[in-house]
Amino acid sequence: MLNSDINDQLASAADVKEGDFVLEIGPGTGSLTNVLINLGATVLAIEKDPHMVDLVSERFAGSDKFKVLQEDFVKCHIRSHMLSILETRRLSHPDSALAKVVSNLPFNISTDVVKLLLPMGDIFSKVVLLLQDEAALRLVEPALRTSEYRPINILINFYSEPEYNFRVPRENFFPQPKVDAAVVTFKLKHPRDYPDVSSTKNFFSLVNSAFNGKRKMLRKSLQHISSSPDIEKALGVAGLPATSRPEELTLDDFVKLHNVIARE
Ligand SMILES: C[S@@+](CC[C@H](N)C(=O)[O-])C[C@H]1O[C@@H](n2cnc3c(N)ncnc32)[C@H](O)[C@@H]1O
């Protein structure tokens, strides 16, 4: 259970208002759901535990602003669920905006959720999550040249503008966990504003390969893509040192390098 003020602050970080459509992952008994509905939002909740599904369905039985699906979020086809809902909704609300995600997440699925939702800027405008504090800092504020800097940070900045909103001390939870949490907002970019890469799939495959050889220089870890001298040349054209390592490259650097290699 979470201190009810934090639920209010989660909803306020997402600027939830009358007429919004909100996806909530793991509503549990529905304390955050209640805040969202009271603010005038319509909520689709995905809950894995059948017992919780019964409890939350009963709690909001009279409301036409709530629907729960009993599914594992990581395995469910959220894009198709959302597209069919938004399509129907647009018929009755032609000006309706993109949906939002607000969730007090089970911490063990937070990375999967981020990877799944952030590329959906055509469906969601904002993803506001309560995460483990350490994970939140790693995802939002990793420093270049540290071991915290990983492919997921490139993914996050490719698809969104992340913001660490505030820390939630462990005393706000019952039972009290051993770690603090934090509220994080990912403002999703619309697909037309993604960095200009010729192939998103090839771009992320290059990023992942680069980090696979964590301590290796890119001229070695990318050898399966091009010969070492060609990678060195591409790094030079992209304005990067021939000895570059993955943790030294920003999103922009990776975009430039990918586009030089793709042109060759
Ligand atoms: C941290 S609790 C959040 C409860 C509620 N949001 C609250 O504020 O009190 C996590 C909830 O997520 C559900 N859950 C865990 N893994 C899930 C998954 N993979 N897909 C959907 N729901 C999940 C759990 O059953 C639980 O109800």
Q: Does residue 2 line the site of ligand 1, with CB under 6 A?
A: yes
Q: Which atom in ligand 1 lies closest to the alpha carbon of residue 28?
A: 27
107 Cα: distance to centroid of ligand 1 (angstroms): 9
Q: Do 90 and 204 belong to one domain?
A: no
Q: Do 96 and 215 belong to one domain?
A: no
pLDDT at 193: 97
CA dihedral of 167, 5, 114, 160, whole degrees rounded to 10: -80
Q: Measuring from atom 4 of ligand 1, which residue has the nearest CA?
A: 28
Q: Do 94 and 187 belong to one domain?
A: yes
pLDDT at 216: 87
Q: Do 210 and 186 belong to one domain?
A: no
Q: Is 1 annotated as a binding residue?
A: yes
Q: Measuring from atom 27 of ligand 1, which residue has the nearest CA?
A: 28
Range of the domain at 227: 200-263
pLDDT at 214: 65
CB 75 within 8 A of CB 53: no
Q: Do 77 and 126 belong to one domain?
A: yes
Q: Could you say which of 141, 168, 193 is where a domain stops?
A: 193
Report the half-sphere exposure of 177 (CA within 13 A, side-chain side). Answer: 15
Number of domains in the chain: 2
Q: Is 141 annotated as a binding residue?
A: no
128 Cα: distance to centroid of ligand 1 (angstroms): 15
pLDDT at 148: 86
Surface-to-core class of residue 242, CB atoms within 10 Å of its CB (0-12 exposed, 13-18 middle, 19+ buried)? middle
70 Cα: distance to centroid of ligand 1 (angstroms): 11
Q: Do 158 and 245 belong to one domain?
A: no
Which CATH number do you get for residue 234? 1.10.8.100
Q: Could you say which of 157, 176, 193 is where a domain stops?
A: 193
Q: Measuring from atom 14 of ligand 1, which residue has the nearest CA?
A: 26
Q: Could you say which of 140, 175, 193 is where a domain stops?
A: 193
Which CATH number do you get for residue 186? 3.40.50.150
Q: Do 157 and 226 belong to one domain?
A: no
Report the half-sphere exposure of 142 (CA within 13 A, side-chain side). Answer: 23
Q: Does residue 104 line the site of ligand 1, with CB under 6 A?
A: yes
pLDDT at 1: 77
Q: Do 152 and 56 belong to one domain?
A: yes
Residues of the chain with pLDDT under 50: none
**Is the ipTM value over 0.90, yes or no?**
yes
Q: Which atom in ligand 1 lies closest to the alpha carbon of residue 1?
A: 9
Q: Do 100 and 128 belong to one domain?
A: yes
pLDDT at 207: 97
pLDDT tens per residue across span 41-84: 999 999 999 999 999 999 999 999 999 999 999 999 999 999 98
